[in-house]
Structure 1
């Protein structure tokens, strides 16, 4: 009888919580933010999607043309080239950033001297503007590195990577990775510090080498952090713009023009509706990656 009364009381309390009136103060904080989000993001996005079905140049009159812009996108070599470059660049940069950041994280969480100070040093690139970083490296790739190559007698380095349409993307990957590694590094450090030390002590007792511990203990236990860094990094690199502008401005020719650069250049060149269709496709790609991220990272917060 007592158990039944307890169950009834618990059900009554849950019912009271579910029907409890929301305090008006919560709406005071919610509604202004919701209004600003709607006016600044939702409304422009809906308008942009609508104009992607028109022949608008951004001003003046326009006519509905249906899916003409979208059909043209899939047969435009410049658009296809920008997507190929952006996706290829994103994949290469994700690999470089995650490998470098993980190895640095392993080193900075080991028993070395000055590891706290070194962590602060490695985080510095994250707080510097991307365009400033790009201009500095532009000078290095265009002047300092060729001069060093000429002095050392290395023909490969005597010409700037930025002037080579087949190699310019390597310079972009290097600079982008240099700025992106710190943020990824911090996530990996958090993941490595969450691994219990008892696990490594047991592995030492079993005679496992450091390499075996890294491959069979550390990597499996921080797999969730790897997935998060890979997906977030890929999403971020898809939007690459400022570093590319500062390094190559999409050149040589259009060899390093990203999707973001193509869209913005089209807006300024009178292809408003056409590039709005491109932006809509790009948005759908980002949404698909976000859904992938949610599916891959669901439940990963339980790894620690």
Structure 2
């Protein structure tokens, strides 16, 4: 009887888990294994034949100057955008949690960029960089603003950062506000009795207690920025030249424009592994600094 009941229970669990396991295998495991096999072929994405070439694509990735340039741009862009968006979002969140007039209106205004499509934002800012800023520069006789930033190899990078930080800060503000509101007011009152000033309260109380929020925000922002694609397509297309070509845009160009689907898949898997490693490092560093009340 016990064996029969155990067998029935096991079958019940299997039947319960079967739909989820099938979907997991179908939409996650199989695509990853298929992509890994494809990355070890010279498939052009069109023909039916594909030759197995082993790890040749992976060896070529790290000798490809175009990939190294795209990776350098992507890392630089992701680090700067992540730092700026988190600093701005935390500053705005600190201001919005205060009891000020029209606080709810300001919250809605700052969150508005988060609900817009990245492509729509890109095309709007493209018109701003093309027409509005140069016009203002001419009217105000400011030479630095008279140039179209997107057409300048040195300034196009910073134009992308400006747009990215403007939108990315919106959703991060909400996360930081949620973290700030979990800090008991009594902690600040006790610190004030001990003579703590505003800066000491921030560095000694606020910052340590919102490290979980900082962890979430930095990981989300870094992951999103390392996979940047929409902004670049809408604003620069990877130009001028290859100055703003990210790794994700390179993957698209290799697979669909240059008919190097196998090599492009290898680049995609290298980027995936790189993002995983960066995320693990971020979590291991920030989790050690987390403080619980």
1:186 aligns with 2:184: no
Output one character per residue of 1:32-59: Cα deviation in whole Å (capped at 9) or x when no partner.
3432332233212211111111111123
Any residues of structure 2 matched to 1:161-180 within 5 Å, and which?
161-180=149-168
Output one character per residue of 1:234-265: Cα deviation in whole Å (capped at 9) or x when no partner.
11111100011101111111100110000011
Q: Which blocks of at least 5 consecutive residues in structure 1 are unaligned? A: 1-18
Report the equivalent of 1:279.
268
Choose from 95, 99, 105 the match for 1:107: 95
Residues 56 and 96 of structure 1: is their aligned pair in 2 closer, same or farther, counting only changes over 3 Å?
same
Any residues of structure 2 matched to 1:85-164 within 5 Å, and which?
85-164=73-152
Residues 65 and 197 of structure 1: is their aligned pair in 2 closer, same or farther, counting only changes over 3 Å?
same
Deviates more, 1:201-210 or 1:132-141: 201-210
Any residues of structure 2 matched to 1:256-295 within 5 Å, and which?
256-268=244-256, 269-295=258-284
The TM-score with structure 1 as length reference comes to 0.87
SS of the residue aligned with 2:202?
Answer: helix
Q: Which blocks of at least 5 consecutive residues in structure 2 are unaligned? A: 1-5
Choose from 49, 63, 83 the match for 1:75: 63
Larger-gyration structure (1/2): 1
The TM-score with structure 2 as length reference comes to 0.90
Report the equivalent of 2:240.
252
SS of the residue aligned with 1:234?
Answer: helix
Choose from 200, 223, 243 the match for 2:231: 243
Once the 2 structures are TM-superposed, how far is the Cα of residue 121 of structure 1 from its aligned partner? 2.0
SS of the residue aligned with 1:142?
Answer: helix
For residues 95 and 16 of structure 2, the distance between their equivalents in structure 1, rounded to whole angstroms, comes to 44
For residues 29 and 253 of structure 2, the distance between their equivalents in structure 1, rounded to whole angstroms, comes to 23
| Conserved? CA contact 1:224–1:303, under 8 Å | no
| Conserved? CA contact 2:212–2:287, under 8 Å | no
Residues 168 and 30 of structure 1: is their aligned pair in 2 closer, same or farther, counting only changes over 3 Å?
farther
Any residues of structure 2 matched to 1:210-221 within 5 Å, and which?
210-221=198-209
Output one character per residue of 1:161-194: Cα deviation in whole Å (capped at 9) or x when no partner.
1011111111111111111112111111111111
Report the equivalent of 1:8.
none
1:201 aligns with 2:189: yes
Residues 220 and 156 of structure 1: is their aligned pair in 2 closer, same or farther, counting only changes over 3 Å?
same
> Number of residue pairs matched?
286
Report the equivalent of 2:34.
47
Deviates more, 1:82-91 or 1:280-289: 280-289
